[in-house]
Homo-oligomer: A and B are copies of this chain.
Amino acid sequence: MGLTSLNQQLLSKIATNDEHGENSPYFDGWKAYDNDPFHLTKNPNGVIQMGLAENQLCFDLIKEWIEKNPTASICTTEGSMAFKDIANFQDYHGLPEFRNAVAKFMGRVRGGRVKFDPNKIVMSGGATGANETIMFCLADPGDAFLVPSPYYPAFVRDLRWRTGVQIIPVTCESSNNFQITIEALEEAYNKTIEANVRVKGLIITNPSNPLGTILDKDTLKSLVNFINERNIHLVCDEIYAATIFRPPHFTSISEAIQDMDSNDDLIHIVYSLSKDMGFPGFRVGIFYSYNDEVVSCARKMSSFGLVSSQTQYLLAAMLSDDDFVERFLDESSRRLECRHKIFTEGLKEVKC
C-alpha cells in the first residue's frame, strides 16, 4: 500500500481530493507570478499578475480619513477606551452599528435606489466564506447549482469543496457577448434533471467576474422568473457593485425584484468589502438573504468566520460617514476609468 492510499485512509476525502481547485491553470498563473514577478527595471521579462483584482487606487483618501478619525480606532489614546469592550465582543449577530453601516453602504453603492435591512445582514469570512455558507444553507451534497460560464475560478473551492455541491456550467458564447440566455439555462437545467441530479438554484456574478459586464434589468427579471417557475434559488454575487466607471449603471437584483411578482424567499446576495473598498485583508464578506429562515441559519454558521470586532468597529465608523463614502466612491470610479484607459491603450502596443 503506497503512502497516498495510507494517507487517504488517515485523512478525509476532502483533504485528499483536488476540489480545492488549486491544481488548475488559474493557480498555475499565480504560482508563475510568485516565482518570477515582473519588475520594470529589475525583471522586465517577469510575469505580470493579471489574475488578482486589487483596488489600491484610493488608499490616500482612506489614510486621510483614519488620521482624522482617531476615535474609530481602538488603538489610539482617543480610541483605546473602547478596546476592552470591542476585543471581548463576540456576538455572532455583529456590532449593531456595523450592520447598520454595511446596510447603508450597500444601498449607496447600488445607487440609493434600494434599501437594505440591517437585520438581514450576516457576516462571513470574506466572500469566500459567504459563498460557502449559502451552499451549506441551501443545498445537500450532490445537489447542483447552475453557474453561467466563464466564472470566477475559485468558485470550485468556495461552492463545492467542503459542501459536496455540484457546479453545472451554463455555456455562454462569445458570439453573443457571453449573454446569459433562458435557452442556455433551460438546456443546462433539463440535462441536469435528466441525469437525476437535483438543481437547487442559479448563481450569477453581476458585475461579472471575469467579463466585467453587467446585467440589465430585463435580463435580471427574466432570471427571477426562471427561478420562480422552478422554485429554485437565485444567488447574486455583487461584490463588484461599485467597481463601475462608465454607463450603463449597475442594477442590483434587489432593484429588479422591487416592482415584480417574485417569491423573495428564493433571493440571496453575496457582498464584500474586498473589491469595492479594496480591503481583502479585512475579510469582510456579507451574506444578505430575503429569506428569514436562511438568515437565521447563516447567522449560526457565521461563528465559523466572523469578522474581527476590531475591523467591524473601524468600518462601522468609516462607512457611516456619508461625505467620505460619497467622495470615495466618486473618486474611485474616476480613477478606475483613468487606469482602464492607460491599461487598454498599453495593451494595444503589445506585440504578439
Contact = CB atoms under 8 A, between A and B. Distances in A.
Q: How many copies does the complex hold?
A: 2
Contacts of A88: 54, 56, 59, 278-281
Per DSSP, chain A at the interface is helix
A81 B139 CA distance: 44
A217 interface: no
Given A88-B279, A300-B22, A83 B59 contact: yes
A56 B84 contact: yes
A266 B20 CA distance: 23
Interface stretch (A70-78, A177-185, A343-351): A70-78
Contacts of A233: 10
Interface in A41-85: 54, 56, 59, 62-63, 66-67, 70, 72-77, 79-81, 83-84
A121 interface: no
Contacts of A73: 73, 75-76
B83 A300 contact: no
The 8 closest A-B pairs by CB, nearest first: A281-B309, A73-B75, A308-B308, A90-B280, A305-B305, A89-B281, A59-B84, A15-B297
Contacts of A304: 125, 128-129, 132, 162, 304-305
Interface residues of A, number: 74
Contacts of A283: 90, 305-309
A201 to B, nearest CB: 10
